[in-house]
């Protein structure tokens, strides 16, 4: 139990000049403290493995700081469930998720990529020449898996406005009762000024912003992850034109085979998550003390 407790401490709290500890580091520290006369690295690993304690691993995260996190997130979850303010969405009401995927580079490899063959995976030359970068702006109709997208030299109010026009000038959105746009807090579309700007051009638009640092609530981010895996990795493009063609061709291909994402995170899950975060926020100060 003492060894496991030691493994759950930050190295700095133990006075160790390490960013994270391996099982060998822990065994060494246990011996240095005189907790045991002798212990092997493998024994420490076995003990930690019993409780899935892996201090040599880490992941980055952002603790939620938006005081209105729950109500903002709840509105989006309601939309994904087909409701708005307690009323079901009508047939002529739509939910669009939109965002930008920035800095998509064209990397021209110094040697041609080799196709896979028996006993050998695809081989991609490590060195490359930079040929510029695109910002890919995309919008997803979450209930129809319909996609809109465009490549721009940069992000901003004007490029995002072009994406909005691309969607709102197309049927059935041009005749919709309401079109809900789920957006994050990027500079192109955040705040009340953005709301006024969008509604001045298209009165049927209802912008719905995610909480700060909660882009995971925007379903277009799932599509972006598919784009990264399926269309952009490995990155081997001779020009920006090739990148643009790949993105738009993949968009059409994906739309032809895609189904709406099966979104399972509900208001019940949100309530449980808020309790977990609240508990953690109370624990952190005591740990720091």
Q: Detail the DSSP E strand segments found in the chain.
A: 83-84, 87-88, 93-109, 128-141, 146-152, 178-183, 205-209
Please give the tally of structural domains in the chain: 2
Compute CA distances 245 → 100, 106, 158, whole Å. Answer: 17, 12, 22
Which of 100, 137, 149, 139 is CA-nearest to residue 251?
149
Rounded mean pLDDT of 280-284?
68
- Same domain for 205 and 79? yes
What predicted TM-score, i.e. pTM, was given to this entire model?
A: 0.85
pLDDT attached to residue 279: 80
Q: Is the predicted pLDDT of residue 288 greater than 80, yes or no?
A: no
Residue 262 resides in a domain: no
Which residues lie closer than 8 Å to 191 by C-beta, 6 or more apart? 185
Span 278-289, average pLDDT:
60
Q: Is residue 196 within 8 Å of 202, Cβ to Cβ?
A: no
pLDDT in tens, 113-130: 999 999 999 999 999 999
Distance between CA atoms of residues 3 and 74, nearest Å: 42
Q: Is residue 59 one of the residues assigned to a domain?
A: no
Of all residues in the chain, the percent with pLDDT exceeding 70 is 97
Residue 169 lies in a domain: yes
pLDDT at 286 over 60: no
Which residues constitute the domain of residue 92? 69-257
Mean pLDDT (the chain, rounded): 93
Query: Is 150 a member of any domain?
Result: yes
Q: What is the pLDDT of residues 46-62, one digit of tens each?
A: 999 999 999 999 988 77
* pLDDT computed for residue 65 by the predictor: 81
């Amino acid at each position: 139990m003492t060894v496991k407790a030691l493994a759950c401490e930050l190295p700095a709290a133990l006075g160790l000049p390490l960013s994270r500890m391996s099982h060998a580091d822990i065994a060494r520290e246990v011996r240095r403290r005189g907790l045991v006369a002798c212990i092997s690295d493998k024994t420490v690993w076995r003990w930690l493995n019993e409780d899935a304690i892996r201090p040599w691993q880490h992941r980055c995260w952002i603790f939620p700081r938006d005081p209105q996190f729950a109500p903002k997130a709840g509105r989006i979850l309601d939309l994904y469930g087909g409701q708005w303010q307690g009323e079901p969405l009508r047939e002529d009401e739509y939910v669009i998720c939109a965002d930008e995927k920035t800095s998509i580079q064209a990397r021209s490899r110094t040697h041609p990529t080799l196709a896979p063959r028996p006993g050998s995976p695809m081989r991609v030359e490590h060195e490359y020449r930079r040929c510029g970068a695109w910002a890919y702006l995309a919008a997803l109709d979450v209930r129809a898996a319909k996609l809109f997208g465009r490549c721009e030299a940069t992000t901003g109010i004007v490029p995002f406005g072009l994406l909005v026009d691309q969607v709102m000038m197309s049927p059935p959105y041009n005749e919709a009762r309401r079109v809900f746009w789920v957006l994050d807090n990027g500079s192109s579309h955040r705040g009340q000024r953005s709301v006024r700007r969008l509604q001045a051009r298209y009165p049927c638009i209802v912008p719905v912003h995610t909480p700060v640092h909660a882009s995971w609530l925007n379903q277009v981010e799932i599509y972006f992850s598919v784009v990264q895996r399926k269309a952009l990795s490995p990155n081997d493009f001779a020009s920006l034109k090739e990148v643009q063609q790949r993105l738009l061709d993949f968009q059409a291909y994906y739309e032809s085979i895609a189904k709406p994402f099966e979104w399972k995170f509900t208001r019940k899950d949100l309530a449980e998550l808020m309790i977990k975060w609240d508990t953690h926020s109370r624990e952190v100060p005591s740990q720091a003390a």
